[in-house]
A = this chain, B = another copy of it.
């Protein structure tokens, strides 16, 4: 590997972490190199940096492009293609989450819905369905939250995350100010997000 020590340390760690996330170590390393690079790199520069084969880089870049994680760039009068990562790290995370959701969560929701439609043929299946229903509702709750929060501009998102659970305090305050007739027990257990 042919990188400044600091970059190398990061690249190695990132590759390692990637491999715990079902991402090919090399692909993780390629992304790490591009992430810390000062400017977009071409395939051969990545080969040079990581000391892996050209074909491996090609496959890795293709994989990353399938994930929408790269910004390709063409240089005038140069036939090679250069690649960088988005400057905005929030954009990167949004893409990552979107893609993982598309590949893993959405198919799971589909299966769960299919299985919940079936009429159970035994107590075992009835019980399984009850469990799957819980899972389905939880996933819907979380993806619903994400879909909503995803629309926020970064500034607002940061504000929201910085607040953490303190928003609950604000909500309580709101509830007190505009006290509902029903008193404190505004339940939100089921999947409805409520208008």
User: Chain A interface (Cβ within 8 Å of chain B)?
Assistant: 4-7, 9-10, 13, 17, 19-22, 35-38, 89-90, 93, 103-104, 107-108, 111-112, 114-115, 118, 120-125, 127-129, 131-132, 134-135, 138, 141-142, 144-145, 147-149, 151-152, 155-156, 158-168, 170-171, 173-174, 188-189, 192-194
Contact = CB atoms under 8 A, between A and B. Distances in A.
B188 A164 contact: no
Given A115-B10, A164-B144, A171-B167, A127 B189 contact: no
Contacts of A167: 160, 163, 167, 170-171
Contacts of A35: 131, 135
B89 A162 contact: no
Contacts of A173: 174
B158 A36 contact: no
Given A167-B171, A170-B170, A162 B132 contact: no
B115 A6 contact: yes
8 contacts: A6-B120, A10-B128, A141-B158, A142-B161, A158-B189, A160-B167, A160-B168, A170-B174
